[in-house]
Amino acid sequence: MTSSNGQSALPVVPGAGSGRPRVGNREDLPDRIWTVPNALSVLRLLGVPLFLWLLLGPEEDLWAMVVLMAAGISDWADGKLARWLDQGSRLGALLDPAADRLYIVCTLVALALREFVPVWLVALLVGRELVLGVMLLILRAHGYPPLQVHYLGKAATFLLLYAFPGLLLADGDGWLAAIAEPFAWAFTIWGTALYLLAGVLYVVQVVGIVARDRATSRA
């Protein structure tokens, strides 16, 4: 498994001779900043306020949809480029999931404010992010970095980033909106389900790490 910035997405593997589990390999990545994948991730982050302004200010839904689609394409492209150019990095391993989560949360809130999506959907996905935030604090308390991005999480992010432009398109009139609506909601439902499942798997991994640590300390 690989995350979108080219690093291995291994969950938890035993540490050699230490008795402590070793989490992924993010710390083994090069400590570099100026790479093409990192530049794409930064551009994706800069697109968040632009998207929010387009959607909530002048309500330029078409241009907001273009920004979202560009974010989805760059999310795919930075991972491919990281592998093709051998430009995986620690910064990229942090920037990429951060940009994904920021886009999803901000987009959900904006779409809810425009009444494109129900509030319960926003509550589910934002609640998932809050739970993962608590898991990150637990990992830090035990001396571990964040876990690697799970492939289910990347699949869910892909579905949601393409579902949201579809929801904007489905809000219009005419045959194109009628065609887009079922596909947009299918992507939204499947993306939400996978996003929640990836969150559950993340919690399970963290619980396993904490249990291992406690067992090791008692040994």
Cα–Cα distance, 47 to 103 (Å, whole number)? 9
The confidence score (pLDDT) of residue 186 equals 95
The confidence score (pLDDT) of residue 78 equals 77
Q: What angle do CA 84, 88, 90 make, to 5 degrees?
A: 170
Nearest to 41 by CA among 6, 87, 77, 1: 77
Q: Taking the chain (219 residues) in consecutive chunks of 10 residues, what is each chunk's mean pLDDT? A: 39 37 52 79 89 90 87 79 77 78 87 90 92 92 81 86 86 86 93 94 93 82
The confidence score (pLDDT) of residue 187 equals 94
The confidence score (pLDDT) of residue 12 equals 39
The confidence score (pLDDT) of residue 31 equals 66
Cα–Cα distance, 185 to 181 (Å, whole number)? 6
The confidence score (pLDDT) of residue 204 equals 95
Per-residue burial over 54-90, b if 16 or more Cβ lie within 10 Å, else e, is: bbeeeeebeebbebbbbbbebbeebbebbbeeebbbb
The confidence score (pLDDT) of residue 132 equals 92
- Which domains are present in the chain? 21-121+134-218 (1.20.120)
Cα–Cα distance, 88 to 62 (Å, whole number)? 33
The confidence score (pLDDT) of residue 25 equals 53
| 18-23: long-range pairs with CB below 8 Å, 24+ | 19/216, 19/219, 20/212, 20/213, 20/216, 21/208, 21/209, 21/212, 21/213, 23/139, 23/144, 23/145, 23/147, 23/148, 23/209
